[in-house]
Every structure is written in C-alpha cells, then in structure tokens.
Amino acid sequence: MLRSRLALPLAVLTLNLLSTLVSAAPIKIASVSPLSGGLVGSGTELKRGAELSVEHHLQEFKALGYELSLVSFDDQGSPVAAKPLAQKIASDPSILGVVGAYNSSVSNVLGEAFAPSKLAIVTISTNDKLTKNGWTHFNRVVAPDGAQSVAAASALIDQQSGTIYVISDNTTYGNGLTKSLVQQLGGSSVKVAWYGGVSTDSEIARAVQRIKASGVKTVYFGGTDDVGGRLVNALSTAKVKVNLMGSDGIDSPNFIRQVSGRATNIAYTTVFGPLSLFSNSGDFSARYQARYKTPASGVAAYAYDAAEALLGGLKAAVISAKGIPTRMQVSGAVRNIDLPACFDVDKSRCQTISGAIAFSSTGERQKSTVLVMKYDDMLQTKMTKIATVNASDLK
C-alpha cells in the first residue's frame, strides 16, 4: 500500500518533468556578421540588433512551448571565411533562420549554401543581384544598391559636379554600387574621368596621388567604412580637398571614429540613416543603450527589423505546423510576412522600427527608403533628401 502511494506522486512528478522537457524544445536562429577585423563595428551592431529582437520574443515562444535562442557567427567580412560557416549552419537542424550578412559577398555565399534546404535568411546586404537568383528563402529589409546609385547620381547632377572620380573598395558591395552609379550617370552632365578599385593602403595612396594630379573636385566612393575611413585620412594627409560622396558603408560609428578631425565635405546615400528619423525608434534606442551602454545605429535598427520579420514568419510556421516546422515552411511564412506600420503612442508596442515590412515575389521589401545625408565639420549628420523605393519599380 505504501509502495503504491509513493508510486503515484513519483509518476506525476515524472510526467511533469517529461512535459517540461518536451515543452522546452530548442529553436534557434543565427546571426552572421563580421565580429573581427575592420568591419567589427558594423558587424557587432548587426548581432546586437538581432539579439534584442530575440530577447523581446523569448516569453512569446516559451508560451508556445519552445526555447528560442540566437547563435552568432563571425564571417570576418570575408566570403572565403563564410563558406565553412554556411555549411556549419546548414548542417544544424535546430537553426531555422538567419539574420545577415552585412557584406553582400557573404550574403551571396549564404544564399547559395542555404538554397538546397530552404533555410530562411533575411539580410541587410544591398547588392542588386542578391534578389535575382530565384531564391524563395532569401529576403532583405533595405533598399538595394540600384536605388542608392539613383539617389547618388541625382545628387551629383544637382550639385553640378562636372568631372568626377569613382572609386570602389573592390568588394561585391562596392563594385555593385559604383558600376550602377557609372551607368546612371551615362549621358548626364557629370562625366566619370576615372574608375578604379582600392583596398590596400598602397592602392589608396596611388589613387590619392592620381586625384591630386588631376585637380578633380568630386570623388564618389562605394565601399565599407574601413576602406572609406582610410581613403578620407589619406586625402587629408595629402592635403587634397574634394567633395566626397559615399554610400551607406560610411554610415557607421566606426567611420566617424576613423576620420574624426579630418572630415569635411562628405555626403552619402544610406538605406539606414540616423535612428532619429524613425518615429518608432525611441523604445529600441532606450533598450539598446541600457543593454550595451552605447547608442544604436541604423545598422542595429535594420538588423532588429530583419529579425522581427524572421521571427514573425517562424512563429506563424510553428503555429501552422503545430510543432517544429520544416525550413521550407519557415521560408514560406517569412516570404508572406506582413508587419504593419505602427502609429501607436506607446512605441513599445511597435513591432518594427523602420515601418511596414512585406516582401515581393523576389524577396525585396515592398517599400524601402533611401536617404541622402551630409556630415558637417563636427561629423553631425543632416538629411538633404529622402526617397521612397517601391519593389515594383526596381529592375
């Protein structure tokens, strides 16, 4: 009798323990970004944005019976380093989605590696070709390079820039931007006198000497903050004064740190922009500051929104599957996500920072934004132009 009385509570305890274990099934998403090397600043911002989104949804997924977590991978800003990472991620069945990458060349590696299993990816990379591969698992939350080059060309023409030099940092991202810009300027009043690529200090030095000898007054730079910062510093050291137009690669705290005290006449196009331009950014900015003891950038905000789109699709897939969904089910749910714009007075209720998010049949955001910004001598930014880009208008 005593044995049967003891057995019943033990059985109940065992069932409760098993229930807890079953209900805590792990679900992971990953972030992929440069966490070492010259782009560590932007890469860390991407990771942190995704991290805050995951933390915001932990209890929501726990209520559904799942233990949500984020695993972060360092791609070093290199497509070569990204290849083994992509295979590692693809071979982990508990990872059901990816936020990243920062570099377009890395995002291309990820897109190809994840295509067979349809592992969902939401990126902040901007190269035009990324959404032209027919990938149903690939989406992005920012405007592509083509939209940036249109805005940059328009600004250069408005400024009556005359003859310009165009410089890429030799990355997929930089090459895509600069080639698109040259195409946009064809037949306009702005003439491209020289087009070349730089990445090493010696290449930058030769380009600066070429610029100095030519007397050209305007340079367009397409590339990342690391090379961009070194180019600006080399121009300053050589006492070469030019108007520099850049891209969102130089829209970063790392660029500002590099060129502090040396930056004049710098403008840039960006798909990110300062957080102050987004009415929904207040709660996110406060959470970011409290968590990391530093202000957030636009990269972190868009990474947050990328994670929100991914997690929205993941949640829908979990509910629809009544269990852990397949990667294909998650990809389908992410592609069909429809996160509304938020006009709530309490901004903590807003799901996204940058506005409504929905994707076209190719994975482009239905409506995205390109800004033309200008740094003043104190490296404070001022918006000079804003343009809304419709996915249907992109070619």
**Taking 80 as the threshold, does the pLDDT of residue 30 lie above it?**
yes
Peptide bond into 101 cis (omega under 30): yes
**Spatial CA neighbour of 34 closest among 83, 108, 131, 106:** 106
With a pLDDT cut of 90, the percent of the chain lying above it is 72
* pLDDT, position 379: 72
In this predicted model, what pLDDT tens digit does every residue of 222-277 receive, in sequence order?
A: 999 999 999 999 999 999 999 999 998 998 888 988 988 776 789 999 988 788 88
CB environment 121-160: b (16+ within 10 A), e (fewer): bbbbbbbbebbeeebbbbbbbbbbbbbbbbbbbbbbeeee
Q: What DSSP designation does 94 have?
A: T
Q: How many CA atoms lie within 13 A of 102 on its CB side?
A: 37
pLDDT-based confidence at 348, cuts 50/70/90? low
* pLDDT, position 275: 86
Which CB contacts under 8 angstroms, 24+ apart, belong to 354-359?
Answer: 354/141, 354/278, 354/280, 354/301, 354/302, 354/305, 355/278, 355/280, 357/141, 357/305, 357/308, 357/309, 359/139, 359/309, 359/334, 359/335, 359/391
Give the separation between CA 252 and CA 208, rounded to whole angstroms: 23
Give the separation between CA 169 and CA 227, rounded to whole angstroms: 6
**Taking 50 as the threshold, does the pLDDT of residue 18 lie above it?**
no
Helix (H, G, I), strand (E, B) or coil at 2: helix
With a pLDDT cut of 70, the percent of the chain lying above it is 92
**Taking 90 as the threshold, does the pLDDT of residue 207 lie above it?**
yes
Burial (0-12, 13-18, 19+ Cβ within 10 Å), 287: middle
Q: What DSSP designation does 104 have?
A: H
Q: How many CA atoms lie within 13 A of 260 on its CB side?
A: 6
Give the separation between CA 194 and CA 41, rounded to whole angstroms: 31
For the sheet containing 218-222, what is the strand order? 191-197, 163-168, 218-222, 243-246, 266-270, 367-375, 381-390
Give the separation between CA 181 and CA 386, rounded to whole angstroms: 18
What string of DSSP letters covers 191-218? Answer: EEEEEEE--SHHHHHHHHHHHHHHT--E
In this predicted model, what pLDDT tens digit does every residue of 300-316 receive, in sequence order?
A: 999 999 999 999 999 99
* pLDDT, position 287: 94
CB environment 231-244: b (16+ within 10 A), e (fewer): bbbbbbeeebebbb
Q: Are 222 and 178 in contact (CB under 8 A)?
A: yes
Domains and CATH numbers, the chain: 14-143+277-364 (3.40.50.2300), 145-270+372-393 (3.40.50.2300)
pLDDT-based confidence at 278, cuts 50/70/90? confident
Ranges 157-166, 352-361, 373-382: which has the least confidence: 373-382
Ranges 2-16, 147-161, 336-350: which has the least confidence: 2-16
- Which residues does residue 389 pair with via DSSP β-bridges, in sequence order? 368
What pairing do the DSSP bridges indicate for beta strands 357-358 and 338-339?
antiparallel
pLDDT-based confidence at 385, cuts 50/70/90? confident
pLDDT-based confidence at 389, cuts 50/70/90? confident
* pLDDT, position 107: 98
**Spatial CA neighbour of 140 closest among 168, 184, 110:** 110
What string of DSSP letters covers 279-331? Answer: TTHHHHHHHHHHHHSS---HHHHHHHHHHHHHHHHHHHHHHHHTSSPPHHHHH
What pairing do the DSSP bridges indicate for beta strands 266-270 and 243-246?
parallel
Look-up of token digits 């891209």: 247
Which is higher by pLDDT, 121 or 256?
121
Torsion, CA 379, CA 193, CA 182, CA 129, rounded to 10: -80
